[in-house]
Amino acid sequence: MKENQEGLRKVRRALLSVSDKTGIVELAEKLRGFDVEIISTGGTSRALREAGIEVRDISAVTDFPEMMDGRVKTLHPRIHGGLLALRDNEEHLAAMREYNIEPIDMVVVNLYPFEETVEREGVMLEEAIEQIDIGGPSMIRSAAKNFRDVAVVVSPSLYRSIVAEMEIYQGALSFMTRMRLALHAFAITSSYDGRIFKYLSKTATEMGQRKREEEAEEFRLFVGGAGGAMAGGIKIPLLNNLQTPPAIAQLRVRKKRDLRYGENPHQLAALYDAGEGGGIAQAELLGGKEMSYNNYVDAEAAWQLVSDFDELTCAIIKHTNPAGVGTGAAAEEAYRRALETDPVSAFGGIVAFNRKVDERAARAVAEIFTEVVIAPDYEDAALEVLRAKKNLRVLRVSDEPRAAEGLEYRQISGGMLVQTRDTHRLKPDELKVVTRRQPTSEEMGALLFAWTVAKHTKSNAIVYARAGQTVGVGAGQMSRVDSVRIGAMRAQIPVQGSVLASDAFFPFRDGIDEAARHGITAIIQPGGSVRDAEAIAAADEHNLAMVFTGIRHFKH
């Protein structure tokens, strides 16, 4: 057999250095059966020797001991020269002879368990840093770069197929196999570096926030003192309240599964895991058919909405917009209130709860055709009811609190748009009453409810509501006054006596005049228009209470 046949390269020397030792002894035994010399490091070397396998220590190759708690052991010219040297390049071969560098034909490496470490509760930064592998990725990259001559194996799942091919080719591997192994290796190192970047970025943000809070408190005490007077001197605190997206936005995802198709049957699609834990991407499918692309998009909108409420809440979503939202003392009550808003649009919708679903709520959901139901958990009897509906997808989603930090991505031609997540939650003391009439306590509760729903409704967003229940929703219109009209037109519950939320300011008074015509009593909106005075005057003319939030919630 010639070594250049099909690009074959015989493996004569292999370096084994693994954190996950699954299958490594069996692989080493097979390699020795092909008369492959094995070089190894630290714990891997000990495990192989204990299994009776002949091993050459890395220090015997480099003439240097492993040092600095194992931080330095493979970072040596005799290792990387043996990996990077081109076997048909005479200059490379001469350098190898001169400096006593032996070729290494295979590297079997898997990396320190950084990701598993940082996912543990209470892990400290110092411990995480020690799990940042240096030598492993360096060897992987050297071997993968020189895949013409070297095979790089980065996962125990590959061992069996590697051995099978070596049995076919009498201890050799083909060019295409080495190339595929290199591609897989680069994917692993890229993902590994991305996880480190993500963890350190999150840690730096948290540390920076704590530092800013400490400095802000120090500055407050310095300037104000106990009596509010300057204590003396001049101090420039190291405050940095300006938060900006990073210079390089890293988006690392792993494919979980292919989907049947995308938004339309002619589009390909797949579900990817962003490694954040929890959320719709990690939801358990407890019943029904596999989720579609559109199911996932709508399910995300539904889950985000109900997660923004502390009270027991149910949302019914259609094409990412709320068809109805309700709160209640029990899940069935919340669902009935959401359904009452627009029972026609609820047909074929997505239903989400932010509490465990009981049997009564499950039977209510099962009364009409529903695509997906989402909840943090289900009673056994509820699952039995829901699973009886063959076309109903039943998702269980972790209700662990989501981190406030994070970025959202949207692709555009030639690039990406990146923004921080809209995690703002309005507090009653942030509201400013701008009309002569103050809202009643009941109106205030309804306004805050409507405002939260408007945050999750496509702009231009108008939400009519009463306490704990949507009345009508106007979403995604080109004109705000049209959203006001459509929200009232679609209402199945009397609009008279409800309140209105607008996700952005009213550019003209016509929207307020139109809303008043339908009998609303109060309005919540951001304010900030050059015509705010006209809007306030209109509200006063109609004896409406109006409050400004000072913040808007555009959703495109």
Which residues are tagged catalytic?
A: 145, 319
**H or E element that contains 14:** strand 13-18
Residue 73 and residue 66 in contact, taking contact as beta carbons nearer than 8 Å: yes
Q: CB burial class (10 A; 0-12, 13-18, 19+) of residue 344?
A: exposed
Contacts with 222 (C-beta within 8 Å, 6 or more apart), sequence order: 231, 235, 237
Cα–Cα distance measured from residue 286 to residue 361, given in angstroms and rounded to the nearest whole number:
17
Cα–Cα distance measured from residue 487 to residue 473, given in angstroms and rounded to the nearest whole number:
4
Smallest CA-to-CA distance from 8 within 107, 103, 149 is with 149
Cα–Cα distance measured from residue 14 to residue 143, given in angstroms and rounded to the nearest whole number:
11
Cα–Cα distance measured from residue 392 to residue 412, given in angstroms and rounded to the nearest whole number:
34
Cα–Cα distance measured from residue 102 to residue 211, given in angstroms and rounded to the nearest whole number:
52
Cα–Cα distance measured from residue 472 to residue 483, given in angstroms and rounded to the nearest whole number:
10
Smallest CA-to-CA distance from 112 within 89, 139, 94 is with 139
Contacts with 78 (C-beta within 8 Å, 6 or more apart), sequence order: 61, 62, 63, 99, 100, 101, 102
Cα–Cα distance measured from residue 503 to residue 452, given in angstroms and rounded to the nearest whole number:
9
Both structure tokens of 342 = 């627009």
Contacts with 357 (C-beta within 8 Å, 6 or more apart), sequence order: 331, 365, 373, 375, 377, 378, 379, 382, 386
| Torsion over CA: 66, 67, 69, 70 (sign) | negative
Smallest CA-to-CA distance from 103 within 143, 75, 137 is with 143
- In the DSSP assignment, the letter for residue 422 is -
Both structure tokens of 498 = 């409800």
- The length of the chain is 556
Alpha helix (H) ranges present in 359-509? 359-365, 380-387, 441-455, 480-490
- In the DSSP assignment, the letter for residue 300 is H
Residue 141, classed as helix, strand or coil, is helix
- With tokens 């805050």, the residue in question is 448
- With tokens 């509200």, the residue in question is 539
Smallest CA-to-CA distance from 286 within 383, 206, 401, 150 is with 383
Cα–Cα distance measured from residue 66 to residue 58, given in angstroms and rounded to the nearest whole number:
8
Contacts with 401 (C-beta within 8 Å, 6 or more apart), sequence order: none
Alpha helix (H) ranges present in 171-277? 175-224
Residue 107 and residue 155 in contact, taking contact as beta carbons nearer than 8 Å: no
